[in-house]
Amino acid sequence: MSAIRDRVLGLAGSCTSFRGLVEGLSSENVDPCTAMSVVAHCTAVRIASNLGASVPQGLLAPAITEPHGGSNLQNVTTSARMTPRGWVVDGVKWFVTNGLYADYFLVYLRANDEPAVALVGRNARGLKIEPMKLSAYTCSGIAKVYLRNAEARVMGKTGREAYRSTLRGIAEARVLLAALAVGLGKTVVSYAIEWAKGRGITGLQAVTHRLARAHAILKTAEGYVHTIAGLIDEGKLEDWTAASIAKYVAVEAAIEAVTAARRTMAGHAFIDEKLQSLQQHIEALEPAEGTQDIQLEIIARRLFH
């Protein structure tokens, strides 16, 4: 367990160099589980930094989504209240990546009926963690987290600032998730190319053009993701809709790459475990850090405001 934690922390660094992070996440043969853990840790780190709160040492897990729905932050019901022994939190969070290994949970909730972010330590009283069975990213330690009068520390300011810092942190993380989609998409295209070579079907244009198309779309997505990462590092990204565009385009490109690989491998797609694993890891990127529907909604609002 501590090996996973050390590896993730080593790769994530301080979560400040987006160029460096995107470079690693978008590389071929990226390990999906470690990569998802890095994205989740950096989501929590970015939210805390945006709030101006000190980021604790150790692995963080962002606990935002609740059982009744994760798309709308305004529907969150987890709450914190002040007691003689300090803040305590009540609620349930689902899909908490790193939950099984994290040192701290960064919990989005309501405190005094205002949006707020609280930090709950792994050994806090009132905290219960259960593994969550997903068909992908099992090794990213995704968990259900139950908070019953759990000891917590409310971070930074509550209200509008907490809401905006969280939205901004999630938007930043979308660029990292987009990079992961590119890395997994490139991996699946290369895998299909090697399979096609072994099968002796590279003389068929139907096969080569299909994979060429997938490659071209992925390269375009990759270029966009790298450009946005550079702008973030330089403090020049003014319109955060770009993060939604990056996530939307990169995930769609990766899903297209899976379709191209599956068609290339025909019946073998149904018996090839590596392809199936890549497919599941790519498809699980669709809801993560906000569904593709939500990205389109953000883009549409910008277009029609």
Q: Is 69 in the site for ligand FAD (CB under 6 A)?
A: yes
Q: What single letter denotes the amino acid at residue 250?
A: A
Near ligand FAD in 85-104, by CB under 6 A: 95-97
Q: Is 130 in the site for ligand FAD (CB under 6 A)?
A: no
Residue with smaller CB distance to ligand FAD, 150 or 294: 294
Q: Are strands 104-111 and 127-131 parallel, antiparallel or unpaired?
A: unpaired
State in angstroms the smallest separation of the CB of 91 from ligand FAD.
12
Residues facing 153 on adjacent strands: 119
Q: Is 37 in the site for ligand FAD (CB under 6 A)?
A: no
Binding part of the chain for ligand FAD, among 80-88, 210-218, 242-250, 286-294 by CB under 6 A, reads 286-294
What residue number has its CB nearest to ligand FAD? Answer: 70
x/- map, 214-253, ligand FAD, by CB under 6 A: ----------------------------------------
Element (H, E) at 238: none
Residue with smaller CB distance to ligand FAD, 12 or 64: 64
State in angstroms the smallest separation of the CB of 39 from ligand FAD.
8
Q: Which residues of 232-269 are buried (b: 16+ CB within 10 A; e: fewer)?
A: bbeeebeebbbbbbbbbbbbbbbbbbbebbbebbeeeb
Binds ligand FAD by CB under 6 A, chosen from 209, 293, 300, 301:
293
- Angle between helical axes of 32-50 and 160-199 (0-180°, round to 10): 160
Q: Are strands 127-131 and 114-121 parallel, antiparallel or unpaired?
A: unpaired
Residue with smaller CB distance to ligand FAD, 40 or 89: 40
State in angstroms the smallest separation of the CB of 97 from ligand FAD.
3
x/- map, 142-171, ligand FAD, by CB under 6 A: x-----------------------------
**Token pair for 81:** 């209240």
State in angstroms the smallest separation of the CB of 113 from ligand FAD.
21
Q: Is 141 in the site for ligand FAD (CB under 6 A)?
A: no
State in angstroms the smallest separation of the CB of 100 from ligand FAD.
12
- The answer to whether the beta carbons of residues 252 and 291 sit under 8 Å apart is no
- The answer to whether the beta carbons of residues 179 and 150 sit under 8 Å apart is no
Q: Which residues of 33-58 are buried (b: 16+ CB within 10 A; e: fewer)?
A: bbbbbbbbbbbbbbbbbbbebebbee
DSSP state of 70: S
| Count of all residues that appear for the chain in the document | 305
* Residues in contact with ligand FAD by the rule CB under 6 A: 40, 62-65, 69-72, 95-97, 137, 142, 284, 287-288, 290-291, 293-294, 297
